Structure 1
């Protein structure tokens, strides 16, 4: 497994752990106007992200097509504002475990949806890993009391989680993780403000208490700024299918941090569920896959490597001109140094095996000795 993939998995995992830990902060903000709180959170995150976007941000934003801007607006509305509203609405008539269980199914949906959109079949290890992650999330959270409305809003939360991963992919390349995070935060702040004015009017914001201020700052600076940038950097490296596997770490992180503020406990069920999530992530991300052995293919009939052949004469594949070269040459097979073929500028003394500059007063007249 290459270093780029390992870094991508680490970033995605870290982002999801931060989101899971933020559920503790959500419990502190239960009495604060939700839409107004989201507007403050995303607005503050946007201001904190501005110094990170770089000088070419304005050019990159102007280059976006109207369709791409529509996707950004949909990403903010569905994956951020809509997701949070759906979770809160579900918890009015259902226990918090219910939307958590549905959101835990996001890796399965993404593992099927993304390949279908691209016209290919789901990758089996990713799909099987996603099923394990969903089972682990269910085991960690369990089931609870609910009704039809709670289930409907929980499905909406699932769609929001899927949208947050999938809708970002086409605009991630032109904007990059930092600029994309800043842009969606700005749009989400505006959308939250509009939703707050429509639902609460001028009561959409109030002066937060000390604990509420700390919680809002944590969500803006840590969960949103650090979490979003890390998440999109992870998606950029390993793709939405594998990155979404790590969303199974959200309930695990929430369960592990809940005892710190006496809002829950971590017992046998949470331990078993955490193990299932870990196994699913390892299977789907390719950690358990053995690396393919390196094979040196014989080139142009030179045959396999031989123990009785000197190291500097072993055949190696490659070269700019498609032929084979020899270890110790300047470039394998390019005919520039060390091999006696047309086009080289430094020949080989076939009698002594030594090298000498190719000059007109030496054998070969500056040309190949071959």
Structure 2
């Protein structure tokens, strides 16, 4: 996510090149690298269901996201777009567990809210009409689908193949969209400086970042991995400061600190309940029938009866 954040600083150097065509070039470079790596890793071929999910992933999470983003910039300020799209951690914290058929964790949702507040502080405030807000929300939905549609694909195809196939499928979609928006100007050759910028976007921000992200998504789950989406503006801030494009303000630092605090809260695991803690909680004493009284919770009574009782099945630590 830090690598993805650096793309905003690099994008300033390619502002004059057709946006959608440039994204197609970027994904083509990334896909070529990822497909070369995937060729060396054994794995099953995509099924018909896998192909449908991959097409949906490319159409929404890659092509659709860029289309919404381009149109949103015409109706809303970058600050508003950044604040809306910055709500990805909250959306992932709620929708991710539901996709996996489990309850959203209260700690993760609370941490996601902190991360989103940090993103909003870093992005600042700006103006937007109804159309700009709707387009920014569309970009937010596509960004969430970039991860959620990959969840059922990762166990079968693996991160490398999912990233490679999605990037490759997005290329023709973006080329068609670029021709529709920019006409024949979409096919002009990039300058040497633009080509260098797109090489960075294709290698680092697409091939490397996508591979890292899908590995993290499989290891952490969509809800906890989604917290790190808040690092995108932090990466943008670091790259902007490193290139000397703009000074770093107090709001930028405050937002980065909030993002970091939210990630720390969300990644913490609750302490496991030990037998000693259960005994202390219930004030258990051997030989006293009152220890099974109505004031004691059902879980503690069950634990004592079957685990702590002399000769019980669980007289050892479980």
| TM-score between the two structures when normalised by the length of structure 2 | 0.83
Match of 1:191 in 2: 173
Q: Following TM superposition, by how much is the alpha carbon of 1:119 offset from its aligned partner in structure 2, in angstroms?
A: 4.2
> Is the helix fraction higher in 1 or 2?
2
Write out aligned runs for 1:2-151 (5 A): 16-55=1-40, 60-61=44-45, 64-151=46-133
- Distance across 2 between alignment mates of 1:219 and 1:294: 49
Listed as ranges, the gaps of 5+ residues in structure 1 are 1-15, 305-314, 319-370
| 1:219-246 deviations in Å (ceiling 9; x for gaps) | 0000101000000000010111111110
Match of 1:239 in 2: 221
The SS at the match of 2:77 is: coil
Q: Following TM superposition, by how much is the alpha carbon of 1:55 offset from its aligned partner in structure 2, in angstroms?
A: 4.7
Match of 1:285 in 2: 267
Task: State the 4+ residue runs in structure 1 displaced beyond 4 angstroms.
Answer: 293-300, 315-318
The SS at the match of 2:61 is: helix
Q: Following TM superposition, by how much is the alpha carbon of 1:146 offset from its aligned partner in structure 2, in angstroms?
A: 2.0
Higher relative contact order (CA 8 A, sep 6+): 2
Listed as ranges, the gaps of 5+ residues in structure 2 are 277-306
Q: Which has the larger radius of gyration?
A: 1
| 1:43-92 deviations in Å (ceiling 9; x for gaps) | 111111222114565x622xx33232111111111111111221221112
Match of 1:161 in 2: 143
- Distance across 1 between alignment mates of 2:58 and 2:162: 11
Please give the root-mean-square deviation of Cα atoms over the aligned residues, in Å. 2.4
Q: 1:213 aligns with which of 183, 188, 195?
A: 195
The SS at the match of 1:60 is: coil
- 1:268 is aligned to 2:278: no
Q: Is the 8 A contact 1:298 1:317 kept in 2?
A: no
- 1:173 is aligned to 2:147: no
| TM-score between the two structures when normalised by the length of structure 1 | 0.72
- Distance across 1 between alignment mates of 2:102 and 2:69: 32
Q: How many residues matched? A: 288
